[in-house]
Chains A and B, each alone.
Chain A
């Protein structure tokens, strides 16, 4: 099996409201998988089903090839978006308790906690109460608790919220490190730049349904619009631009007469760009010729808006 988690036709209703409708996913092992979607799309419900907090009305979930069952709870680590800790409990005691609930022995939990506390340089927090810590500090504890039992599947829901940029980077590096060590990661966020940076695969949920999924690079290819950014050096840029605009759709242009530098963006009817390139290089000195690839952010907005009906 190459997938850590597979869902088949998962549907979940709350009364009259359908939270998930017929969602099928395949989450490959040892990958970072982005679970995206607008608020209320059903991400949290799906995550809760994977964590066996709720159960699907229809459909099946397989973990590492087996139908999902309570034994798998110890193999999953979940960092919920709405997170918190017991305010009046001491950091060490609390971490030990949560680790033991995930099935670690007390001694083992202590050993691993020491490792992680040293790694994140928070060893002296052991006897502090959570209410004495700042939000970012508490988030660090929460992160450790999530990964401590070395789960095969990690689910992070907005893992960077509450962190300053430095600590966000620390956490990002830890996530990448965990993947190197073999964990598979489901990553749910609204911050598209971190999706771009981390995710190999994505799924886009919208109004309880899956509207897009696959390898991020494949999706980007599919979303290309044959738009090219071109930079030329030519003394007669204005005439050239006029000629071009008769044949193609010019989306933006700028001509600097002093530098004899012409920049423009155009859309081709097909992905066949060699003809244009030959045409241009015969008339000018081509400095740059770049096909624009849509960002994850653009893909997200475009897909969701087209589903909503206003393109």
Chain B
């Protein structure tokens, strides 16, 4: 078996010396960081632009109603008439003029109020103004009904149900989603890795076939050794690339944010959290330190060792299964255009796993669909990882499911690699035939 390390070394070097691979490795983090920085920078720029609204207030009902916010500031005009106010607003380049006439009743005031602007005003601005009016109107009506403003404030208080485990520990809202999200990130990583580096394995096999070196090689080594060497070598190159991405990406982010003076918080709760969750979670975390501590505590309580070990196990087995299928496909065809019909069936379970994961596991990590897909070997590396942050055993994934999933994966691994090696062995020496599934099935018996 001294030949296997030789093959792995060659495949690794061939990959990492490849020009496009090198360019991708070093350019991707730069592009990625540049894009994020650009978005963050533009967001900040956008926020810095303030709208100035002139207010010509002739009524007493709205004194002190217009408070300057981050995006809008109000300037009071006093003692001038409407036409003059309009002129000066437009001359000063303000966004618009809010005119509130004087009248006996609030309703009349509201009816007579106008907003003047050069172009049609944005709905956000209007909405903000309207809600101020609505608020005042509601208050006024309630006062007329005999409700004091203190009572009114009390009415508006929201309500949150308190949650707890049977053991009496405080449960945190949304913690399941956060946990599943962490697992989901692992699962997503596995999927991306399989698709990128499985494709590399396939192309490398096709290259050996078209350059016709294959027969020379397999007169020295077993096709199985060559296949495994290729798969492992490519994976090592992939891990190298990922490591460079993560490290250089992290450094670049820190440097870039420092240079452009961007508050990293501007992006938080934004793109990386799945929809619906981010908006709810972010303010909670920011506002309530006690709660934030609770979440942090909960995150530290994640079964990190279990997660990491399972990640490695599922990653290795999942990658080996899929990349040996990729290798078999590469061996079966003569050129890359013929691979399409075979690739779709491999990518499908991967996509399915991700979608099932995000839609089903997030809602209910232990529902029948989540359980089914976390047992099925072609999807389990992704779906099981999404379930695992809840731990194994009580309250988490039942132990039997965890074990069954790994055993099934192992059996599938042996079976698939065996089948793929058979197709590979025959395929690498076949030229000029456009293979069909029927043909591949026949090769299994050669």
Contact = CB atoms under 8 A, between A and B. Distances in A.
Given A15-B446, A86-B14, A100 B6 contact: yes
B10 interface: yes
A78 B216 CA distance: 7
Contact of B219 (A73, A86, A100): A73
Given A15-B442, A85-B213, A87-B211, A53 B220 contact: no
A51 B212 contact: no
A219 interface: no
B216 A142 contact: yes
- The listed residue with most B CB atoms (<10 A of its CB), out of A51, A76, A84, A88, is A84
B311 to A, nearest CB: 34
B10 A145 contact: no
Contacts, number: 59
Contact of B212 (A82, A89, A98, A102): A82
Contacts of A53: 215, 218-219, 223, 429
Contacts of B50: none
B42 interface: no
A80 interface: yes
A14 B446 contact: yes
Interface in A92-150: 97-98, 100-102, 142, 145
A49 to B, nearest CB: 11
B445 A86 contact: no
B212 A83 contact: yes
B5 to A, nearest CB: 10
Contact of A101 (B208, B220, B445): B220
Contacts of B215: 53, 78, 80, 82-83
Given A15-B445, A15-B446, A97-B10, A83 B219 contact: no
Nearest to B445: A15
Contacts of A15: 442, 445-446
Contacts of B216: 78, 80, 83-85, 98, 142, 145
Interface residues of A, number: 25
Nearest to A53: B218
A78 B219 contact: yes
Contact of B217 (A89, A101, A142): A101
Contact-residue bracket for chain B: 20 to 34
Given A14-B446, A84-B211, A84-B213, A89 B219 contact: no
Interface in A202-217: none
Nearest to A100: B6
Which of B3, B215, B218, B223 lies at the interface centre, i.e. has the most chain A CB atoms within 10 A of its CB? B215
Contacts of B212: 80, 82-84
A88 B216 CA distance: 16
Q: Which of A73, A76, A80, A102 has the most CB of B within 10 A?
A: A80
A89 B431 CA distance: 23
A140 B7 CA distance: 23
A51 B219 contact: yes
A137 to B, nearest CB: 15
Interface string B429-446: 101000000000010011
A83 B213 CA distance: 6
A86 B6 contact: no
B220 A98 contact: yes
A101 B3 contact: yes
Nearest to A52: B219
A142 B213 CA distance: 10
Nearest to B19: A88
Nearest to A12: B446
B211 A101 contact: no
Given A14-B446, A15-B442, A15-B445, A88 B219 contact: no
Interface in B172-228: 208, 211-213, 215-221, 223
A99 to B, nearest CB: 9
A101 B221 contact: yes
Nearest to B211: A84
A76 B211 contact: no
Nearest to A106: B6
B446 A97 contact: no
Contacts of A83: 212-213, 215-216
A-B residue pairs, 4 tightest by C-beta: A84-B212, A101-B220, A80-B215, A84-B211
Interface of A: 14-15, 48, 51-53, 73, 76, 78, 80, 82-89, 97-98, 100-102, 142, 145
Given A15-B442, A102-B220, 5 more contacts: A53-B429, A80-B219, A82-B212, A84-B213, A97-B6
29 contacts: A15-B442, A48-B429, A53-B218, A53-B219, A53-B223, A73-B220, A78-B215, A78-B216, A78-B219, A80-B212, A80-B216, A80-B219, A83-B212, A83-B215, A83-B216, A84-B212, A84-B216, A85-B211, A85-B213, A85-B216, A86-B14, A86-B211, A87-B211, A88-B18, A98-B216, A98-B217, A101-B3, A102-B220, A142-B216
